[in-house]
Amino acid sequence: MGEFRRATRGHEIVLDSRTDQLVFLADGATKLVVQLPDGSEQVLAFHFTGDMVHVPHRPGDRLQLVALDDCRAITFPTNAFLDAAEGEPEVLRTMLTRALLALQRSRNKAIRLGRKAAQERIADFLLAMAERIGIPDGTDIRIDLPMSRRDIGNSLGLTIETVSRQFTELRDSHMIATSGRSLVWLHDLEGLAVRAGQVAAQKVDPENCAISNKDLASPTMVG
């Protein structure tokens, strides 16, 4: 019933655009992008190994799932998948739980975007990435970002220049360190949480990083 797909960096994971699709990302990282009629594009979400992605059929605008590195995925038409799961309430329930989690992530994104300061968005983005793909490295958390500055900007409603300037400022204030285009070390999670406007609580616990999460083996759907 499902179809296997491969894609290399920068290439679209081809989907049947006639109906809603469910995509299980077996390996790799992707971005979900909408091409707006004015030619610009908006990144709606990033996904990583194990995630389940819902790609709705949207007449009117172009929705693409693009590989950020080498990807393997299995795609299903949503309805067909649900029909098959009809006799398996626990499958439906799991999917519902993931869908609600995806909704939470999307709402978090809305909070990020509605928040005006560029600095808050960037700090929040880094903390969110730390939770999903961060790896403890001494007292730091190391992140290997698969997406470009442009992708980050498109995701946060900022330009590539503003993203770069914010990275520079965080580097100058010793909250992060970078190497090359993709490696980032988070030095000061608390400081980043403050800059992200999360002052009250919600700090990233190193134990909650992707490495330890993987043991739970609970794939998540992301929006």
Partner DNA sequence: TTCATTCATTGATCCTGATCAAAGACTGAT
Partner DNA sequence: ATCAGTCTTTGATCAGGATCAATGAATGAA
* Positions in the binding site for DNA (CB under 7 A): 116-119, 148-150, 157-165, 167-168, 178-182
CA dihedral 23, 26, 30, 33 (to 10 degrees): 0
End-to-end CA distance of the chain: 24
Per CB under 8 A, the list member of 17, 49, 64, 106 interacting with a second copy is 106
Question: Based on the number of CB atoms within 10 Å of its own CB, is 123 exposed (0-12), middle (13-18) or buried (19 or more)?
Answer: buried
Neighbours of 23 (CB within 10 A): 26
H helix runs in the chain, sequence order: 78-84, 89-114, 118-133, 149-156, 160-172, 189-195, 210-216
- Report which residue type is found at 20: D
Q: Which is nearer to a second copy, 115 or 171 (CB)?
A: 115
Does residue 180 belong to the site contacting a second copy (CB under 8 A)? no
Could you tell me which residues come within 8 angstroms of residue 1 by beta carbon, excluding any fewer than 6 positions away?
76, 80, 81, 84
Does residue 104 belong to the site contacting a second copy (CB under 8 A)? yes
Q: Which is nearer to DNA, 155 or 220 (CB)?
A: 155
The site string for a second copy over 135-174 (x = CB under 8 A, - otherwise) reads -------------------xxxx-----------------
Q: Which is nearer to DNA, 52 or 143 (CB)?
A: 143
Q: What residues line the site for a second copy (CB under 8 A)?
A: 20, 34, 36-38, 40, 42, 44-45, 54, 56, 58-61, 78, 82, 85-90, 92-93, 95-96, 99-100, 102-104, 106-107, 109-111, 113-116, 154-157, 197-202, 212, 215, 218, 220, 223
